[in-house]
Chain A
């Protein structure tokens, strides 16, 4: 089946630094990629939707200048958490869709801890 690779799986960073998370579709072209965050015992929360070659669409309440999303190619999207704070500590998950949107393929997730 289709595979989406996300890395790093875990990252610890200091407050004020930036962290980049990569999401790659390995065997299909992802026209659309989604970025979610998940707090413990809570639902997945959509942060933004990115389409290749265009600006990401952010959900209400998500700061676009803080969470920079780049979808430069059909197989790669990146999420950069800028000037990270402890409250940004969370589980970040990407998912990708190809031509048929009946199934979204998820990356492995990235656990970010900001100290």
Chain B
């Protein structure tokens, strides 16, 4: 079956770095997405990886290893506004998104 695993909740300190891991199993693979979702709002796009390696975009970076079925989202210089849920989603061979349940990130001062 198709499955996405990511931690339910993580806590980090303002100004620090946090890594949110995601493992996936899909029928075929057409890329891995990370989204940020604040409570009561729709998700907003953060990153898309389809090739192995690290993609850096400002304070956020995303890494993909296709052979391991593994991705992570790295957030640097954490700010209080980064408190949100982070959703990992893999696109299968039919271009359907398979969603993880999300990781709730709590930032403490």
Q: Smallest Cβ distance from B37 to chain A, in angstroms?
A: 9
Once bound together, how far apart are the Cα atoms of A39 and B4, in whole Å? 18
Does A44 reach chain B (CB closer than 8 Å)? yes
Q: Smallest Cβ distance from B74 to chain A, in angstroms?
A: 20
Does B31 reach chain A (CB closer than 8 Å)? yes
Per-residue interface assignment for chain B, residues 50 to 90, with 1 indicating a CB less than 8 Å from any chain A CB and 0 otherwise = 10000000000000000000000000000000000001010
Does B44 reach chain A (CB closer than 8 Å)? yes
Q: Which residues of the partner chain A approach B42 to less than 8 Å between Cβ atoms?
A: 6, 93, 106-109
Assess the B44–A106 pair: CB atoms within 8 A: yes
Once bound together, how far apart are the Cα atoms of A42 and B100, in whole Å? 9
Partner of A43, one of B33, B40, B102: B102
Instruction: Name which residue of chain B comes closest to A107, CB basis.
Output: B42
Partner of A108, one of B4, B41, B95, B100: B41
Assess the A43–B87 pair: CB atoms within 8 A: yes
Partner of A111, one of B40, B43, B101: B40
Assess the B97–A104 pair: CB atoms within 8 A: yes
Assess the B101–A43 pair: CB atoms within 8 A: yes
Assess the A109–B87 pair: CB atoms within 8 A: no
Assess the B48–A103 pair: CB atoms within 8 A: yes
Q: Which residues of the partner chain B approach A41 to less than 8 Å between Cβ atoms?
A: 101
Q: Which residues of the partner chain B approach A54 to less than 8 Å between Cβ atoms?
A: none
Partner of B31, one of A91, A102, A107: A102
Instruction: Mark B residues whose CB is within 8 Å of A.
Output: 4, 31, 33, 35, 40-45, 48, 50, 87, 89, 91, 95-97, 99-102
* 10 contacting pairs across A/B (C-beta < 8 A): A43-B101, A46-B97, A91-B40, A103-B45, A103-B48, A104-B45, A106-B35, A106-B43, A106-B44, A108-B41
Given contacts A44-B43, A106-B43, A109-B42, 16 further A-B contacts (CB under 8 A): A6-B42, A43-B87, A43-B101, A43-B102, A44-B89, A46-B96, A91-B40, A93-B42, A93-B43, A103-B33, A103-B48, A104-B33, A106-B35, A107-B42, A108-B42, A111-B40
